[in-house]
Amino acid sequence: MMKQWRLVSLVSLLALLLGGCGKDFQSTLIPQGEVAKMQYDLLLLSTAIMVLVVLVVTAIFIYVVVKFRQKKGQENYIPKQVEGNHKLEIIWTVIPILLLLVLAVPTVTYTFKLADVKPAQKQKLDKDTIVIDVSARLYWWEFAYKNEKIVTSQDMVIPTGKKVYLNLKGADIKHAFWVPSLAGKIDTNPDNVNMMWLKADNPGTYNGFCTELCGPSHALMQFKVKAVSPEEYEAWTASMNKLDGKQETASAQAEEGKEIFQKSCIGCHAVDANDARPAAARIAPNLANFGDRELVAGIVENNEENVKQWLKDPEGMKPGNLMTGKYGNLTDEQVDALTAYLLGLKAEK
Ligand code: CUA
């Protein structure tokens, strides 16, 4: 018995401790935008109602068990049998109805608010409406900005304080899109486009995940949402628009890397941020601003060492990825040159 209590207290202590581990860049419980806040409010409201019901029912249960238990000397006593009590029946019908109403009104209101993507459905988009086609692929994410005509991958840049509309699709199989601190998850299916919107209140980098088991590297299919001020967003789109695939290189080594890239990589990867090809033709991540990325392969810090490691052994880093075996073995020198070129591809100079 003592042992069990120790276990119980240990688990509760751990729950308390780990509960403190929530980070504002990836916790549903620390919402960072309007959508996440609405969803969090619903979570709190429904939990409060459920806890209230459990407490009241448990209290009544304990009261009845204690008060009406068989007493000494009454072993064969049968109390008065009561069938039906209008007052009680009305009470226990009306209370749940009231509770359900309290739950239903905000849930339905929020559901309509969250599903309102009308501005993104217009035949001709308003100039300042931000609509991004999100395409989930075997282990990476593509973001195509409709008004801005920009294609990028892995890092989705958005302005703070503005609604961002998303058209979400799975390009190969089913995945699911989730940025815990900004919005609840939504499926990305190959057969239909799902729509949602989200909004970030504060600048920051928020973690995004694939939340549909999709293969050996499902857990590594991550992305980032970078929220920046509206002015920075304007500047970003302007500088992205200048990345036409002919970016200048900074060194002879990077120039050599560019040549290798043009031979071995360009068949799948574009370095032009205005990639006008249809989505189906964009089979690999757009690398126009690769140097700005937070992560390599969606999982490790974007630095020289990790880029080299990725180029040498993509399979070891991200099993089942589609890049493995697409190019021959590169010499160390070629890997160094390619790395210099790739890290020099930046929108923000
Ligand atoms: Cu894509 Cu899991």
pLDDT digits (tens, 9 = 90+) for 249-272: 989 999 999 999 999 899 899 999
Cβ of 196 below 6 Å from ligand 1: no
Cα–Cα distances in Å, from 50 out to 44, 129, 255, 298? Answer: 10, 39, 63, 39
| Structure confidence by residue, pLDDT tens digits, 332-347 | 999 999 999 999 999 8
Cα(317)–Cα(297) distance, integer angstroms: 8
- Nearest residue CA, atom 1 of ligand 1? 175
Cβ of 175 below 6 Å from ligand 1: yes
Cα(269)–Cα(260) distance, integer angstroms: 13
Cβ of 212 below 6 Å from ligand 1: yes
Cβ of 218 below 6 Å from ligand 1: yes
| Structure confidence by residue, pLDDT tens digits, 272-308 | 999 888 888 899 999 999 999 999 988 899 999 999 9
Cα–Cα distances in Å, from 332 out to 135, 325, 329, 339? Answer: 33, 17, 9, 10
Instruction: Identify the structural domains of the chain with CATH numbers, from first to last.
Output: 26-53+89-241 (2.60.40.420), 252-343 (2.60.40.420)
Q: Is 282 exposed, middle or buried (0-12, 13-18, 19+ CB in 10 A)?
A: buried
| Structure confidence by residue, pLDDT tens digits, 77-122 | 888 888 889 999 999 999 999 999 999 999 999 999 999 999 999 9
Q: What share of the chain is helix, strand, coil (3-state, %, to 5)?
A: 40, 20, 40
pLDDT at 19 over 80: no
Give the number of other CB atoms < 10 A from CB of residue 299.
16
Closest CA to 130 of 205, 275, 237: 237
Ligand 1 atom, smallest distance to 213 CA: 2
Distance 217 CA to ligand 1 centre (A): 7
> Which tokens sit at 198?
């989200």
Distance 99 CA to ligand 1 centre (A): 38
Cβ of 221 below 6 Å from ligand 1: yes
